[in-house]
Amino acid sequence: MNFSAENASRKWAFGRLSRARAAIITVTALLLAFGVQARPAQARKSTAGIWWGDLFGSRPPRLRGTVRATTVPLPRPRPAEARPRPAEAPAAEPQTPAAAKSAPAGNAKPTEQAAPAAPQPSACRLALTEEIAIAPTVADIHGPGGCGGEDLVRLEAVVLGDKHRVKLAPAAILRCTMASAIADWIRTDMAPLAQNLGSVLSDLDNFDSYECRSFNGIAGAHLSEHGHANALDVRALKLANGQSISLTDRTVPREVRESVLHSVCARFTTVLGPGSDWYHEDHIHLDLMERHNNYKICQWNVWDPLPQVAPLLPPERPDDAPPREVAAKPETKPDVKPDSATAGEDRADGTKFDKTKPDKLKSHAKPR
- Greatest Cα pair distance in the chain: 202
pLDDT tens for each residue of 86-117: 666 555 555 555 555 555 555 545 445 666 77
Kind of pairing, strands 201-208 and 165-175? parallel
Q: Are 201 and 239 in contact (CB under 8 A)?
A: yes
Residue 49 to residue 58: CA distance in whole angstroms: 9
CA dihedral 179, 237, 131, 266 (to 10 degrees): 50
Residue 155 to residue 50: CA distance in whole angstroms: 96
Q: pLDDT value at position 110?
A: 47
pLDDT tens for each residue of 35-81: 655 555 554 555 555 555 555 555 656 655 555 656 777 778 877 77
Q: Is the peptide bond before 60 cis (omega within 30 degrees of 0)?
A: no
Over the chain, what is the mean pLDDT? 79
> What pTM was computed for the model?
0.55
Domains of the chain by residue range: 2-55, 135-299
